[in-house]
Each structure stands twice: as structure tokens, then as C-alpha cells.
Amino acid sequence: MTEATTTKTLKALEISGLSHSFKNHKALNNVNFSVPAKSIHGFVGPNGAGKTTTLKAIATLLKPQHGTVKVFGTNVVTDYKEVRTKIGFMPDHFSMYRQMSVFEYLDFFAAAYGLNLKERDQVIGDVLALTDMEGRKDDLIKGLSRGMQQRVSLARVLVHDPDLLLLDEPASGLDPRARIELMEILQELRDMGKTIFISSHILSELADLCDSVTILDRGTVKYTGDMKGLLTQGNEDDQHVFRLTQTSYSSSFMQALKETEGVIDIETNEEIHHTVYKITFSKDKCSTNQILKLAIESEVEVLEFKEDLKHLNEAFMNLTEAGVREK
Ligand SMILES: Nc1ncnc2c1ncn2[C@@H]1O[C@H](COP(=O)(O)OP(=O)(O)OP(=O)(O)O)[C@@H](O)[C@H]1O
Ligand SMILES: [Mg+2]
């Protein structure tokens, strides 16, 4: 096997047969999934699904009762010290030393990881640049907004240069702008070669960010795989649903759609400044290029054309609802 192949197939995380109960409540029930290295993996589920319990098991903070967890091939129970050097865990609720400045806070953790003064200066500069917090390094933590505290917290988990980041709902409580900025930082980290494992309640929030996703409900994996597979899961196998936005309604486009072989359903929604068409069509008989061509030919400006995101939410609801019904 070439080195390139090895890197490509290397798993950052492998979870097999993971089960854990609190008293007689089964929080995790035979959880199996894996995460390829250098990718972003979303871990999505409703409240109480078992996300934090799984994250704690990976982060060596909870000893699983059954099953194995491996981080870059290293067992989290038998070789927990080695695993700890490879991971950076950002919990959902974190308390910070509020009287410290951002620099002091990061310096404290860098020292705890055994970095000397010179290394600490270098690394703190790097993580502050990455999280765009250079200008705030002398500010007291207590004076920072939640979004900025999240960034400092992210900077903290980066000081020992871990390969796998474990982020438990890092976007919760952030305004839309701060969320987008956080997602951009995470993409940058992935491009640097880190693996990011990020949990959330909201699938659509992670859809654009993640390479793959695992959906957990009541301690059971409902889906694991790439986003594309999730989108098409539960769909009619042979159908696509796309959303096309134009600046206004076009009757000629509508007519052309109706006359196109393979178009199964068209829903329109006319807003003040644009019109959205939700188009369901057969994968075999029709193509996205064909639909887009018709829209362009209609001479009404196309603003957007993409796979229907609502479908993602529907997929999530269907998967997690199934868990409720089973009980
Ligand atoms: N220390 C504990 N003692 C008892 N029960 C626990 C403990 N930790 C978790 N649980 C239970 O295990 C289940 C899974 O909890 P967990 O915190 O892992 O879910 P979660 O998916 O992170 O939920 P949330 O989205 O609310 O953060 C829940 O029913 C929870 O009440
Ligand atoms: Mg949780």
C-alpha cells in the first residue's frame, strides 16, 4: 500500500459495539461508526440522544461498559495517555477563568501541556491568528461575548496541536454571523489536515460544512455516511428534488417544466422579490442541467439552484421519529 493510500484510508475515529448505561437507562446501544482522517464529521441527534456520552468516551473521560473506541488506531481505554495527546475536546458547557486575560488563559493551558516559554509564545500567536482573536489577547475573558469566548475555547483546544478535534455543540448560543465565522475556522482547520468531530441538534446547520454525518437517536445510530446518501435516503430512489430561485415568476419556464419528460412535481412559492420552484424530477429521465437550461432560456434571472435543503430536515425528522415510534 502506498503512503498516499494509507493516509487516505486512515480512520481518525473507529467506534464499534459501544454501549453504555446509567443505572438501568441505556444511553448508548451498540453504536458503530467511523470517521476518516482529515474530514469534518457531523454528529447529530436530539436532546438525550447520547452525543455527549459518546464524546466523553472518545475523550477518555468516560470508560465505556461495552465496545471499543479507537483514535487513529489507538484504544482510548488501554492507551488513554497517548490518545489525550491526539485530541482536543471542547465540552458543551465550559467554565473559563474569567479574571484571566485571553493570553494568560491560553498560556496556562499551553504550560499544562508542557510547552516551554518560547513554544508557548509561538503557539499562542498561531492559535490567536487562526481564531481571529489577535486583537483581543489582552482583554479579560469576562468581558468577551459568548461568540468570542467560544473562539478562545477553540483556541485552547488547539494549543497542543491535536489531530482530532471533538467539539460538543460549539455553535449553540451563537448568533448567525458568529456561527458562520466558526464554520469558516473549522474549514480552515480541516484544510490544515485536522479531523473535526462536531455535534449539533440541527442537521441543516452542519450540512454545508460536513463531509459525512452520523445521526444518533436514543443511543442508536440511525444513519452514518456521506451527506449525499442522507439526502437521498428515504427519498424515492430514482428522484431528485431541487430548489430553483428566479427574480420573478416565469410562465414560460413553468410551461417548459410541465412539458419536460421526467418532471414529476412542481411547487411554486412567489415572494416579493423572487420566486422559488421546488422541482421533483426523475433521475433517469431528466437532469439538473436540463432544468437549469430551461430556467436560463426563460430570460428571468436565476438566483439560486440547489438540492432542496428542507429535504435534509425531513430526513432527520423521519429518522429520529422512527426511534420514538419503536419505543
Ligand atoms: N451522568 C449521567 N447520569 C445519568 N444519566 C445520564 C448521565 N449522563 C447522561 N445521562 C443520560 O444519558 C442519555 C444521553 O445523554 P447525553 O448527554 O449523552 O445526550 P446528548 O445527546 O448529549 O443530549 P443534549 O443534546 O441534550 O446535550 C440521557 O438520557 C441522559 O439523561
Ligand atoms: Mg449533549
Number of other CB atoms surrounding residue 106 within 10 Å:
25
Number of other CB atoms surrounding residue 82 within 10 Å:
14
Q: Residue 175 pLDDT > 90, yes or no?
A: no
CA of 49 to the centre of ligand 1 (A): 7
Rounded CA separation 114/27 (Å): 36
SS3 state at 174: coil
Q: Say which range, 19-28, 128-137, 232-241, has the weakest mean pLDDT.
A: 232-241
Pocket test for ligand 1, best of 24, 51, 222 (most atoms within 8 A of CB): 51
- The ligand 1 site (C-beta within 6 Å) comprises 22, 25, 27, 45, 47-53, 92, 201
Instruction: Name the average pLDDT for the chain.
Output: 90
Rounded CA separation 139/220 (Å): 43
Protein residue closest via CA to atom 29 of ligand 1: 48
pLDDT of residue 230: 81
Pocket test for ligand 1, best of 44, 52, 58 (most atoms within 8 A of CB): 52
CA of 147 to the centre of ligand 2 (A): 19
Number of other CB atoms surrounding residue 268 within 10 Å:
15
Residue ranges with CB less than 5 Å from ion ligand 2: 51-52
Nearest ligand to residue 61 Cα: 1
Q: What percent of the chain has pLDDT over 90?
A: 76
CA of 199 to the centre of ligand 2 (A): 8
- The answer to whether 166 touches 88, Cβ cutoff 8 Å, is yes
Task: Label residue 312 by pLDDT band (50, 70, 90).
Answer: confident
Which atom of ligand 1 has the smallest separation from the CA of 56? 18
Q: Residue 5 pLDDT > 70, yes or no?
A: no
- What is the pLDDT averaged over residues 233-249? 84
Protein residue closest via CA to atom 11 of ligand 1: 27
Query: Bigger pLDDT: 323 or 64?
Result: 64
Protein residue closest via CA to atom 4 of ligand 1: 22
- What is the pLDDT averaged over residues 44-71? 96
Nearest ligand to residue 53 Cα: 1
Name the strands in the sheet holding 66-71, side by side, starting at the edge strand that comes first in the sequence.
25-36, 11-22, 66-71, 74-75
Ranges 90-99, 101-110, 226-235, most confident: 101-110
Task: Label residue 319 by pLDDT band (50, 70, 90).
Answer: confident
CA of 48 to the centre of ligand 1 (A): 5
Rounded CA separation 68/18 (Å): 6
Question: C-alpha dihedral over 121, 123, 124, 129, to 10 degrees?
Answer: 120
CA of 219 to the centre of ligand 1 (A): 10
Q: Residue 323 pLDDT > 50, yes or no?
A: no
Domains of the chain and any CATH numbers: 3-232 (3.40.50.300), 239-312 (3.30.70.100)
Q: Residue 171 pLDDT > 60, yes or no?
A: yes
Q: Residue 120 pLDDT > 70, yes or no?
A: yes
Q: Say which range, 86-90, 218-222, 321-325, has the weakest mean pLDDT.
A: 321-325
- What is the pLDDT averaged over residues 150-178? 92
Nearest ligand to residue 215 Cα: 1
- Helices (H), ranges, 10-65: 51-58
Q: Residue 147 pLDDT > 80, yes or no?
A: yes
pLDDT of residue 310: 63
Which contacts of 93-97 are long-range, i.e. CB under 8 A and separated by 24 or more positions? 94/153, 96/141, 96/149, 96/152, 96/153, 97/141
Query: Bigger pLDDT: 57 or 3?
Result: 57
